Amino acid sequence: MKEHEQTSLLVEGLTSYPKALAALNEFARLVTSTIQDVVEQELPSLSKALHVDLEREELGDYVRPNRLAIPNPKDAILGARIDRIGKSGWGLYFYLWWSKGTAMLCVSGWLRDARIADIIFAEFQNVAPKGAIVLDAGHELHISRRLPSDNPEQFPSLMRELTQEFSSLWAKVGGLERFLKA
Protein backbone atom coordinates (compact mmCIF):
# COMPACT_ATOMS: atom_id res chain seq x y z
CA MET A 1 0.00 0.00 0.00
CA LYS A 2 1.37 3.41 -0.96
CA GLU A 3 2.03 6.06 1.68
CA HIS A 4 -0.83 8.26 0.40
CA GLU A 5 -3.24 5.31 0.58
CA GLN A 6 -2.09 4.51 4.11
CA THR A 7 -2.60 8.11 5.20
CA SER A 8 -6.10 8.19 3.69
CA LEU A 9 -6.95 4.92 5.39
CA LEU A 10 -5.71 6.20 8.76
CA VAL A 11 -7.74 9.41 8.42
CA GLU A 12 -10.88 7.47 7.55
CA GLY A 13 -10.28 4.88 10.25
CA LEU A 14 -9.77 7.46 12.96
CA THR A 15 -13.28 8.76 12.42
CA SER A 16 -15.22 5.67 11.37
CA TYR A 17 -13.60 2.72 13.18
CA PRO A 18 -15.62 2.92 16.44
CA LYS A 19 -18.94 3.10 14.58
CA ALA A 20 -17.94 0.40 12.11
CA LEU A 21 -16.76 -1.90 14.90
CA ALA A 22 -19.98 -1.32 16.86
CA ALA A 23 -22.04 -2.13 13.75
CA LEU A 24 -20.05 -5.32 13.08
CA ASN A 25 -20.37 -6.45 16.70
CA GLU A 26 -24.12 -5.79 16.71
CA PHE A 27 -24.54 -7.65 13.40
CA ALA A 28 -22.58 -10.65 14.76
CA ARG A 29 -24.62 -10.62 17.99
CA LEU A 30 -27.90 -10.49 16.05
CA VAL A 31 -26.92 -13.35 13.71
CA THR A 32 -25.56 -15.63 16.44
CA SER A 33 -28.49 -15.01 18.79
CA THR A 34 -31.04 -15.60 16.01
CA ILE A 35 -29.39 -18.89 15.09
CA GLN A 36 -29.11 -19.94 18.74
CA ASP A 37 -32.82 -19.19 19.27
CA VAL A 38 -33.74 -21.37 16.28
CA VAL A 39 -31.46 -24.22 17.34
CA GLU A 40 -32.69 -24.06 20.93
CA GLN A 41 -36.28 -24.49 19.69
CA GLU A 42 -35.20 -27.42 17.50
CA LEU A 43 -33.08 -29.19 20.15
CA PRO A 44 -35.80 -31.71 21.13
CA SER A 45 -36.28 -32.88 17.53
CA LEU A 46 -32.51 -32.86 16.87
CA SER A 47 -31.95 -34.97 19.98
CA LYS A 48 -34.61 -37.43 18.91
CA ALA A 49 -33.29 -37.66 15.34
CA LEU A 50 -29.66 -38.10 16.43
CA HIS A 51 -30.55 -40.47 19.31
CA VAL A 52 -28.32 -38.26 21.46
CA ASP A 53 -29.32 -36.06 24.40
CA LEU A 54 -28.52 -32.45 23.51
CA GLU A 55 -28.62 -29.81 26.23
CA ARG A 56 -29.22 -26.07 25.86
CA GLU A 57 -26.10 -25.43 27.97
CA GLU A 58 -23.94 -27.04 25.26
CA LEU A 59 -24.99 -24.46 22.68
CA GLY A 60 -22.29 -21.84 22.16
CA ASP A 61 -21.20 -19.20 19.69
CA TYR A 62 -19.36 -20.20 16.53
CA VAL A 63 -17.52 -17.20 15.07
CA ARG A 64 -14.70 -17.32 12.53
CA PRO A 65 -12.43 -15.49 12.49
CA ASN A 66 -12.75 -15.06 16.21
CA ARG A 67 -10.56 -11.97 16.34
CA LEU A 68 -9.92 -8.96 14.17
CA ALA A 69 -6.17 -9.39 13.70
CA ILE A 70 -6.46 -12.19 11.14
CA PRO A 71 -5.45 -10.86 7.72
CA ASN A 72 -7.63 -11.92 4.79
CA PRO A 73 -9.96 -14.21 6.74
CA LYS A 74 -11.15 -17.21 4.77
CA ASP A 75 -14.72 -18.40 5.17
CA ALA A 76 -16.18 -15.84 7.56
CA ILE A 77 -18.75 -17.60 9.77
CA LEU A 78 -21.29 -16.49 12.37
CA GLY A 79 -23.42 -19.03 14.18
CA ALA A 80 -23.75 -21.58 16.95
CA ARG A 81 -22.31 -24.97 17.77
CA ILE A 82 -22.52 -27.95 20.04
CA ASP A 83 -18.96 -29.11 20.49
CA ARG A 84 -18.44 -32.68 21.68
CA ILE A 85 -15.25 -33.19 19.69
CA GLY A 86 -13.00 -33.60 22.73
CA LYS A 87 -15.48 -35.79 24.60
CA SER A 88 -17.11 -37.87 21.86
CA GLY A 89 -15.41 -37.01 18.56
CA TRP A 90 -18.18 -34.96 16.94
CA GLY A 91 -19.76 -31.53 16.80
CA LEU A 92 -22.84 -29.84 15.32
CA TYR A 93 -22.65 -26.45 13.61
CA PHE A 94 -25.40 -24.02 12.58
CA TYR A 95 -24.17 -20.93 10.79
CA LEU A 96 -24.21 -18.16 8.24
CA TRP A 97 -21.12 -18.07 6.05
CA TRP A 98 -20.01 -16.29 2.95
CA SER A 99 -19.01 -18.55 0.08
CA LYS A 100 -17.51 -16.64 -2.82
CA GLY A 101 -19.41 -13.54 -1.73
CA THR A 102 -22.75 -15.33 -1.36
CA ALA A 103 -24.42 -15.56 2.05
CA MET A 104 -25.22 -19.19 2.81
CA LEU A 105 -26.97 -20.84 5.74
CA CYS A 106 -25.47 -24.15 6.75
CA VAL A 107 -26.09 -26.97 9.21
CA SER A 108 -23.35 -29.53 9.63
CA GLY A 109 -21.99 -32.36 11.64
CA TRP A 110 -18.22 -32.79 12.00
CA LEU A 111 -16.72 -36.15 12.92
CA ARG A 112 -13.13 -36.73 13.98
CA ASP A 113 -13.19 -40.20 12.42
CA ALA A 114 -13.25 -39.78 8.62
CA ARG A 115 -14.17 -43.46 8.20
CA ILE A 116 -17.39 -42.95 10.16
CA ALA A 117 -18.09 -39.75 8.21
CA ASP A 118 -17.77 -41.73 4.94
CA ILE A 119 -20.17 -44.41 6.18
CA ILE A 120 -22.74 -41.81 7.26
CA PHE A 121 -22.35 -39.92 3.99
CA ALA A 122 -23.07 -43.13 2.04
CA GLU A 123 -26.21 -43.70 4.14
CA PHE A 124 -27.32 -40.09 3.58
CA GLN A 125 -26.93 -40.60 -0.16
CA ASN A 126 -29.53 -43.35 0.01
CA VAL A 127 -32.16 -41.15 1.70
CA ALA A 128 -31.44 -37.59 0.52
CA PRO A 129 -32.07 -35.90 -2.81
CA LYS A 130 -28.94 -35.91 -4.97
CA GLY A 131 -26.57 -33.15 -3.93
CA ALA A 132 -28.56 -32.23 -0.81
CA ILE A 133 -25.73 -33.22 1.53
CA VAL A 134 -22.02 -32.69 1.03
CA LEU A 135 -19.03 -34.38 2.65
CA ASP A 136 -16.37 -31.70 3.04
CA ALA A 137 -12.70 -32.41 3.79
CA GLY A 138 -13.55 -35.99 4.78
CA HIS A 139 -15.01 -34.99 8.16
CA GLU A 140 -17.91 -32.55 7.76
CA LEU A 141 -21.37 -33.52 6.52
CA HIS A 142 -23.36 -30.41 5.68
CA ILE A 143 -26.42 -29.05 3.98
CA SER A 144 -26.68 -25.43 2.94
CA ARG A 145 -28.99 -22.95 1.35
CA ARG A 146 -28.48 -19.47 -0.08
CA LEU A 147 -29.77 -16.61 2.08
CA PRO A 148 -31.16 -13.90 -0.22
CA SER A 149 -29.77 -10.51 0.81
CA ASP A 150 -32.87 -8.79 -0.56
CA ASN A 151 -35.15 -10.69 1.82
CA PRO A 152 -33.35 -10.93 5.19
CA GLU A 153 -36.56 -11.47 7.16
CA GLN A 154 -36.48 -15.05 5.80
CA PHE A 155 -33.33 -15.71 7.82
CA PRO A 156 -34.93 -17.36 10.91
CA SER A 157 -37.44 -19.41 8.93
CA LEU A 158 -34.80 -20.63 6.44
CA MET A 159 -32.48 -21.58 9.31
CA ARG A 160 -35.34 -23.48 10.95
CA GLU A 161 -36.18 -25.31 7.69
CA LEU A 162 -32.55 -26.26 7.17
CA THR A 163 -32.22 -27.50 10.75
CA GLN A 164 -35.41 -29.55 10.35
CA GLU A 165 -34.11 -31.00 7.07
CA PHE A 166 -30.87 -31.97 8.83
CA SER A 167 -32.87 -33.64 11.63
CA SER A 168 -34.98 -35.48 9.09
CA LEU A 169 -31.90 -36.89 7.37
CA TRP A 170 -30.53 -38.15 10.68
CA ALA A 171 -33.86 -39.73 11.56
CA LYS A 172 -33.94 -41.54 8.21
CA VAL A 173 -30.52 -43.11 8.79
CA GLY A 174 -31.26 -44.08 12.39
CA GLY A 175 -29.38 -41.33 14.22
CA LEU A 176 -25.77 -40.54 14.98
CA GLU A 177 -25.47 -42.78 18.02
CA ARG A 178 -25.66 -46.02 16.01
CA PHE A 179 -22.65 -45.00 13.90
CA LEU A 180 -20.56 -44.08 16.93
CA LYS A 181 -21.13 -47.54 18.43
CA ALA A 182 -19.95 -49.31 15.26
Q: Name the more confident of 181 and 159.
A: 159
Position 6 in a domain: no
Count: domains in the chain: 1
Residue 132 pLDDT > 90: no
Domain carrying residue 94:
34-181
pLDDT at 130: 77
Report which residue type is found at 53.
Answer: D
Helix spans in 51-154 (H): 85-88, 114-127
Residues 75, 17, 12, CA angle at the centre, nearest 5°? 110
Position 17 in a domain: no
Can you say whether the dihedral through the CA atoms of 100, 152, 71, 20 is positive or negative? positive
Position 21 in a domain: no
In the predicted model, what is the mean pLDDT of the chain? 91
Position 2 in a domain: no
Residues 27, 30, 31, CA angle at the centre, nearest 5°? 85
Distance of CA 77 to the CA centre of its chain: 7
Position 27 in a domain: no
φ/ψ of 151, rounded to 5, equals: -145, 60
Query: Are the C-beta atoms of residues 114 and 138 closer than 8 Å to each other?
Result: yes
- CA–CA separation, 120 vs 115, rounded Å? 9
Position 122 in a domain: yes
Position 1 in a domain: no
CATH number for the domain spanning 131: value is 3.30.1460
Task: Provide the pLDDT confidence category of residue 151 given band limits of 50, 70 and 90.
Answer: confident
Position 47 in a domain: yes
